[in-house]
């Protein structure tokens, strides 16, 4: 399977690296307006391949994306320390006006996997520009926030994050909702497991984990300028579900006809994803305050998307 990546910066190259070392694609093609950067990233990643897989990694112009089953869109600007994701909207919307048309001109059948921020709104803009069905325009959404939540819960409990089933919903951003009420570990409720391992989820623990998830990007960007390993692996995980038609449940962002009182908005809930993109939305049963938070998140995203003229 060929995977294209537009935007060969930190996020795009990290996704390319993850795909190559995991051997999830037969070919990865990097495209960037800075062609020299794309060439350098492709070469560097290609030098990891002999240790891990047989993926062919190349840089190209848009023509090189012909035949790609999935194209990751990671082009545009990223946050400076202290800047919100929403502050990037106008600049990245302008970038996508060119990028989406260029991709579809050569890869009309591809699934578009959006990473650029603010990712929910960029996914919605991409769907509008492309006219593709929502199922084929997939934002990475809260896949990364969900991983952060599982990582912190797992660390608190002394249990592998892969055995923690907990989701972050709504915006990939400040208004996101940690779905504590239906978090499970193995097949047990979080409270049961926490009691059995002697690590209760007190209000203090909950606040610490919430802060660790919600503000992770701000802290990492302050420390090293950008986040990229987490999302690189997250994008590769979504592509694994597509490449192997796994029908996995992942929190990705897609335009939904309605959520609560808000119509036509992209945000994350658990969704089934396979070879054709998203096939099902799985709306979880939430506590009242989580449902209210999700409604506020949806309304905020809707207001932002309406503020942008396309």
Ligand X SMILES: NC(=O)C1=CN([C@@H]2O[C@H](COP(=O)(O)OP(=O)(O)OC[C@H]3O[C@@H](n4cnc5c(N)ncnc54)[C@H](O)[C@@H]3O)[C@@H](O)[C@H]2O)C=CC1
Is there a catalytic annotation at residue 172?
A: yes
For ligand X, give the closer residue by CB, 151 or 199.
Answer: 151
Per-residue x/- track, 171-210, ligand X (CB under 6 A): -x--------------------------------------
Q: Give the span between the Cα atoms of 149 and 164, in whole angstroms.
A: 9
Is 124 a residue that touches ligand CC(=O)C(=O)O (CB under 6 A)?
no
Tell me how far CA of residue 208 lies from CA of 74, 153, 201, in angstroms.
30, 10, 10
Residue among 4, 7, 277, 293 that touches ligand X (CB under 6 A): 7
Residue 160 contact among ligand X, ligand CC(=O)C(=O)O, none, beta carbon within 5 to 8 Å by kind: none
CB atoms within 10 A of CB 80: 12
Catalytic residue, from 35, 47, 156, 172: name it. Answer: 172
For ligand CC(=O)C(=O)O, give the closer residue by CB, 117 or 126.
Answer: 117
Residue among 95, 121, 144, 266 that touches ligand CC(=O)C(=O)O (CB under 6 A): 144
For ligand X, give the closer residue by CB, 1 or 143.
Answer: 143
Per-residue x/- track, 194-233, ligand CC(=O)C(=O)O (CB under 6 A): -----------------------x---------x------
Is 34 a residue that touches ligand X (CB under 6 A)?
yes
Is 132 a residue that touches ligand X (CB under 6 A)?
no
Tell me the window of 28-36, 160-168, 192-200, 263-271 that interacts with ligand X (CB under 6 A).
Answer: 28-36
Is 92 a residue that touches ligand X (CB under 6 A)?
yes
Task: Please give the positions annotated as active site.
Answer: 172
Q: Which residues bind ligand X (CB under 6 A)?
A: 6-12, 32-34, 37, 74-79, 88, 92, 95, 98-99, 115-117, 119, 140, 144, 172, 226-228, 231
């Amino acid at each position: 399977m060929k995977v294209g990546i537009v935007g060969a910066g930190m996020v795009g190259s990290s996704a390319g690296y993850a795909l190559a070392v995991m051997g999830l694609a037969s070919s990865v093609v990097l495209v960037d307006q800075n062609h020299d950067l794309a060439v350098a990233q492709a070469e560097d990643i290609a030098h990891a391949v002999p240790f891990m897989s047989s993926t062919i990694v190349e840089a190209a112009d848009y023509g090189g994306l012909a035949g790609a089953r999935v194209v990751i869109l990671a082009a545009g600007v990223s946050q400076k320390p202290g800047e919100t994701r929403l502050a990037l909207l106008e600049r990245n919307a302008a970038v996508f006006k060119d990028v989406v048309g260029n991709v579809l001109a050569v890869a009309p059948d591809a699934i578009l996997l959006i990473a650029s921020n603010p990712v929910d709104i960029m996914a919605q803009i991409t769907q509008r520009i492309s006219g593709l069905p929502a199922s084929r325009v997939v934002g990475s959404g809260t896949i990364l926030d969900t991983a952060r939540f599982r990582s912190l819960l797992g660390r608190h409990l002394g249990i592998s994050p892969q055995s923690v089933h907990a989701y972050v919903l709504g915006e990939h951003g400040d208004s996101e909702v940690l779905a504590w009420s239906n978090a499970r570990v193995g097949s047990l409720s979080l409270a049961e497991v926490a009691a059995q391992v002697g690590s209760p989820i007190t209000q203090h623990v909950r606040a610490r984990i919430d802060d660790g998830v919600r503000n992770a990007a701000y802290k990492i960007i302050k420390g090293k300028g950008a986040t990229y390993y987490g999302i690189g692996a997250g994008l590769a995980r979504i592509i694994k579900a597509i490449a192997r038609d796994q029908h996995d449940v992942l929190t990705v962002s897609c335009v939904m006809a309605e959520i609560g009182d808000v119509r036509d908005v992209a945000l994350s809930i658990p969704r089934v994803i396979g070879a054709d993109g998203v096939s099902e939305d799985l709306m979880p049963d939430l506590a009242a305050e989580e449902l209210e938070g999700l409604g506020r998140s949806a309304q905020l995203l809707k207001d932002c998307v309406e503020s942008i003229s396309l």
